[in-house]
Amino acid sequence: MKNNNGLISGLVLLSLGLICGLLLAFVNELTVERIEAEELRLKFDAIEEFYDIANYDLEEIVLENGTIYVLKSQSNSEIEHLVYSFRAKGYGEDVEMLVAVNKDLSVEGYTVTYQNESPGIGTKIVGNDFNYNQADDVSTFDSIGGATVSSNAVKAIFTEVSERAQSDFNGGLYDDEPIDEPNELEITVDDFYDSDLFDIEEVEIEQGTIYILRQDNQIEHLVYVISTPGYHDQIEMFVAVNKDLSVEDYIVSYSNENEGYGTKIVDRDFNYSVANDLSTFDSISGATVSSDAVRHIFSIIAERTEDDFGGGLDD
């Protein structure tokens, strides 16, 4: 029995470890959501120092080295401001900063959101004016004497912003995002109508193909297969329209857009129900280019569908 005492002691320690692990898992379960919400609130509070978030559509783009908060105009979805949340190696740990940049590349402001630098020395980076006023120009940067490593961390963040700000405002914002596997579906007219019931004719047009479905020589339905450039590649859609110009359905048959953003166009309800009326069209916030491509396809159909049903296709 005495020989087993060490083993039993070990088992007691193991059991205690398991109990403590379970307790921690329980507390983690209780707090994890609130922690995430608080972290987000803290970040949004920091962004609010620069802009009133309520006035913009906010989009978050997660990159390998940080996050970019995109503030878009609510009226035209144009990018108005970018708030970069980047990290760089400081003296203690990583220094994390928010850098707010306006459309004209002027720097609205910057703030240190996390640092663990030497008290009284490296901590001077908090609230310091580094004389960084134009996003694409770090030549004016003023370092803090005696806090070289911490200053260099701040400068590294500003340099990263300077290298990409202009490109980001000019459309390069989504280039770093991983591209998903292309969405490729084999769609036929049978996905919309029973092809056995109709005489089907195929007409090539500049932007794609139109399948004409006739019964007794009357056009009953048109299935448009239209292709247009998306963010990375062409977007091809099948759009089925009935004689009364109601839209039967539409399917994205090929796309290769940004994962998590542009890929939202697949299976999306764009609220397009009447073929020659685009006024109800719902865009996807955060996927402007891809949404615009879909809208362009619908607009091609909207412009010609009435004429196509009226005999324009015979011409």
Partner 1 sequence: MTKKENFLKGIFKENPLFVALLGMCPSLAVTTSVENALGMTIAVVFVMVLSNFLISLIMSNEKLAALVKPVRIPVYIVVIATLVTIVEMLMHAYLISLYKSLGIFIPLIVVNCIILGRAEAFAAENKPTDSIIDGLGMALGFGVAILIVSIFREFLGTGLLTIWGDLQFDLNFIFDFLRISPLGMFTQPAGAFISLGFILAIIAAVSAKRQEKQINQVKGVKANV
Residues making contact with partner 1 (CB under 8 A): 5-6, 8-10, 12-13, 16-17, 20, 23-24, 27-28, 31, 34-35, 38-39, 42, 114, 116, 118-121
SS3 9: helix
Closer to partner 1 by Cβ: residue 19 or 203: 19
CB-count burial class (<10 Å; 0-12, 13-18, 19+) for 196: exposed
Which one, of 247, 246, 264, lies nearest residue 255 by Cα?
264
Instruction: Name which of 20 and 197 has its Cβ closer to partner 1.
Output: 20
User: What's the rounded Cα separation, in Å, for the pair 125 and 121?
Assistant: 8
Nearest approach in angstroms of CB 51 to partner 1 is 22
We find the least distance from the C-beta atom of residue 11 to partner 1, in angstroms, to be 9
What is the closest distance, in whole angstroms, from the C-beta atom of residue 141 to partner 1 in the complex?
A: 24
C-beta closer to partner 1: residue 45 or 259: 45
Half-sphere exposure of 61 (CA within 13 A, CB side): 24
187, 238 contact by CB (below 8 A): yes
3 CB burial (10 A radius; 0-12, 13-18, 19+): exposed
CB of 63 to partner 1, least distance (A): 23
CB 132, min distance to partner 1, A: 24
Single-letter amino acid code for the residue at 173: L
DSSP state of 281: P
- Minimum separation from the CB atom of position 146 to partner 1 (A): 11
- If the CB atoms of residues 23 and 203 are measured against partner 1, the closer one turns out to be 23
- Tell me whether residue 62 or residue 126 sits nearer to partner 1 (CB atom): 126
| Phi, psi angles (nearest 5°) of residue 142 | -105, 120
Query: For residue 203, how many other CB atoms are within 10 A of its CB?
Result: 13
Q: Pick the closer one to partner 1 by CB: 31 or 106.
A: 31
